[in-house]
Amino acid sequence: MSVELFKLDGKVALVTGAGSGLGREMAIGLAAAGAEVICADRDKGWVTETVSIIHSRGGKASRIVFDVTKEDEIAHLGRAVKGANGKLDVLVNNAGVAPYPKRLHEVDIADWRRVLDVNLTGPFLVTRAIIPLMLEAGGGSIINVASLIGIVGFYPGCPVSSVAYAATKAGLTGMTKQIAAEYGKDNIRANAIAPGWQGAGTRLADHFKADMSTQDKERFEQAIIAGTPMGRRGASKELQGLVIYLASDASSFVTGQLIAHDGGWTAV
């Protein structure tokens, strides 16, 4: 197999939530493989920083600022992308939020709805806006960022996630499979990635980590290490290879799949 299959020269990719964490790393990886990357985020400062990093490394990138929960902001997304870039070959639905961890009976309905809006309705709205471009171009690759929490539950004696997060990530996997079924003959592929516990570099849980007691933090960390056969957290940049593979011609017959990237967590 030629390494040419993994190159993304001439392809245009859109990454939501590209301002930080996994989204930033995936955008950097796609650009390094040759893609022109449209970095999307609701935080102008963060996404500008991502674009600057890509430019400093010789890559091609631009920014677009919108909130994935705002239907009016996304309504003209396809037209804007076509006008600026002419086409779109790859969509990475990465933008997401993690609510303050609580057990189900403690979850506020407002939190439940917010997580669904960002993590599930957001990818639906963005994908709906982008698929016409892919149909026009004769194909494309959609990569949805799910989670191992959408595959298996986890409770190390204290809340570290929530049913809302788990439900949306499981739902995203179902959406991925349905997209694959509906658009396979149009040469539009859809796959999902389920990242495991990540180390430094992601801001997803910053809003509640500071409030955890030292005892709960230690219990949480010990549970992660014990439950991961590789015995460590993942590094955000380790997702780059998988995203490049799913975006490239190397995965041309792969669609409707959920690929766990978790150091073996879901294997045991």
Q: Does residue 11 belong to any structural domain of this protein?
A: yes
Number of domains making up the chain: 1
The confidence score (pLDDT) of residue 218 equals: 87
Inform me whether the pLDDT recorded for 217 exceeds 90.
Answer: no
Phi, psi of 258 (to 5 degrees): -110, 120
Q: Does residue 26 belong to any structural domain of this protein?
A: yes
Q: Does residue 266 belong to any structural domain of this protein?
A: no
165 is catalytic: yes
Locate tokens 């990818």: which residue? Answer: 123
Q: Does residue 82 belong to any structural domain of this protein?
A: yes
Mean pLDDT of 106-121: 97
Q: Which two tokens stand for residue 257?
A: 């799949």
Q: Does residue 133 belong to any structural domain of this protein?
A: yes
CB atoms within 10 A of CB 236: 22
CATH code of the domain covering residue 161: 3.40.50.720
Q: Does residue 255 belong to any structural domain of this protein?
A: yes
Which residue range forms the structural domain that includes residue 101? 3-261
73-83 confidence digits (pLDDT tens)? 999 999 999 99
pLDDT above 90 coverage of the chain, percent = 87
Q: Does residue 268 belong to any structural domain of this protein?
A: no
Residues 100, 165, 183, 245: which is the catalytic one?
A: 165
Dihedral of alpha carbons 268, 151, 163, 93, sign? positive
Q: Does residue 267 belong to any structural domain of this protein?
A: no
